[in-house]
Amino acid sequence: MLIMKDVWASYGHIEALHGINLEVHAGEVVCLIGRNGAGKTSTVRAIVQDEIRVMKGTVEFFGKSLVNLPRREVIRSGIGYVPEDRRVFASLTVAENLSVPRSYGTSRLFDLNEVYELFPKLKELRARVAGVLSGGEQQMLSIARSLLTNPQLLVLDEPHEGLAPVITQQVIAAVNRLKSKGVSMLISEQHVRLIRECADRVYVIDRGHTVFTGTVEELDANTEIARKYLMVTRDSITSERM
């Protein structure tokens, strides 16, 4: 459904991506791995046309080019975006946050009831102002808000950034539930647990270009790549055990 071919992109004069190749098929969960600053967030932004400008290459969603499309048109074409810093509307209540998006998809899989069922905590907190929620609750809200556009592809940028391990568990559970509902996802992620439990395929990005594509098992088998790029994630396993 989503195909990025040899994408070069930059912020103003600063080039961030030099040749990203990536594909997401229907029903798949694909993870983007890479060190901090490798270009994960830039790749995601190049899909939703947020802040970054694609200079070369193609980004196609169901055969339609997304390059230079206004952000709202990208979303309306069926891509849900959960940004890195969550970006909930801090002065609005949870319920108001969830009333902002309109459904653009044909599936109508998610309505308010469905979303509250998926994240019961949000229903409890619906009258609360979003700015006072914990990081994890804001993350749930941000995902829920994006789901209400009924996207065919959900793009999550570092959903674990800055969250406590307990919350991480909830995010993994949420991703798995969405996966079981058939929602395709592209997740930029460092967290090894999520990658192992959810990902169908992984892409490794380094210095703005794709260096590896394959399943998690293939990544493990490729010792050189695994040692070079999963180092960080191996560390996080040990730190989690401690």
Partner 1 sequence: MLFVQIVNGLMEGVMLFMVASGLTLIFGVSRIVNFAHGSFFMLGAFLTYQFAPHILPGTMLGFVLTVIMAGMLTAFVGACFEVIVLRRIYHAEELLQLIVTVGMVMIMRDVVRVVWGMNDLATAIPDAMSGAVNVDSYWFPIYNLGVMGIGLLVVVVLWAVVRFTRVGVLLRAATDDRGMVALLGINQAYIFTGVFASGSLLAGIAGGLAAPLGSINFLLDTTVITGAFLVVVIGGLGSLSGAFAAALAIGVLKAVGVLYFPRAAMVTAFVIMAIVLIVRSFKARG
For position 110 contacting partner 1 by CB under 8 A, the verdict is no
Q: Which stretch of DSSP H or E encloses residue 188?
A: strand 184-188
Nearer to partner 1, 49 or 233 (CB): 49
Size of site (CB under 8 A) for partner 1:
24
CB of 227 to partner 1, least distance (A): 37
Binding mask 147-166 for partner 1 (x = CB under 8 A): --x-----------------
What size, in residues, is the chain? 242
Q: Which residues contact 14 (CB under 8 A, 6 or more apart)?
A: none
Among 18, 71, 123, 209, binds partner 1 (CB under 8 A): 71
92 binds partner 1 (CB under 8 A): yes
- What does the alpha-carbon distance between residue 16 and residue 38 come to, in Å, rounded to a whole number? 9
Which CB atom, from 94 or from 199, has the smaller least distance to partner 1? 94
Among residues 58, 65, 68, 99, which is the contact residue for partner 1, using CB under 8 A?
Answer: 99
Strand-pairing partners, residue 210, are 205
* CA-closest candidate to residue 46, choices 205, 169, 184: 205
Which x/- pattern over 47-66 shows residues binding partner 1 (rule: CB under 8 A)?
A: -x-x----------------
Q: Is 91 in the site for partner 1 (CB under 8 A)?
A: yes
Adjacent-strand bridge partners of 14:
11
The residues with which 23 forms a beta bridge, in sequence order, are 3
Query: Is residue 122 involved in binding partner 1 (CB under 8 A)?
Result: no
Residue number with CB closer to partner 1 (97 or 168): 97
CA distance 220 to 151: 31
* 149 vs 190, beta carbon nearer partner 1: 149
User: From the list 76, 121, 126, 207, which residue makes contact with partner 1 (rule: CB under 8 A)?
Assistant: 76
Q: Is 128 in the site for partner 1 (CB under 8 A)?
A: no
* DSSP letter string, 82-96: E-TT----TTSBHHH
Q: How far is CA 131 from the centre of its chain?
A: 22
- Name the CA dihedral angle for 114, 76, 191, 22, rounded to a multiple of 10 degrees: 140
Query: Cβ closer to partner 1: 54 or 216?
Result: 54
Residue type, position 133, single letter: L
C-alpha 215/C-alpha 96 separation (Å) is: 40
In angstroms, what is the minimal distance from the CB of 164 to partner 1? 24
Please give the residue ranges that form the binding site for partner 1 (CB under 8 A).
Answer: 48, 50, 70-72, 75-76, 81, 83, 87, 89-92, 96-97, 99-102, 104, 145-146, 149
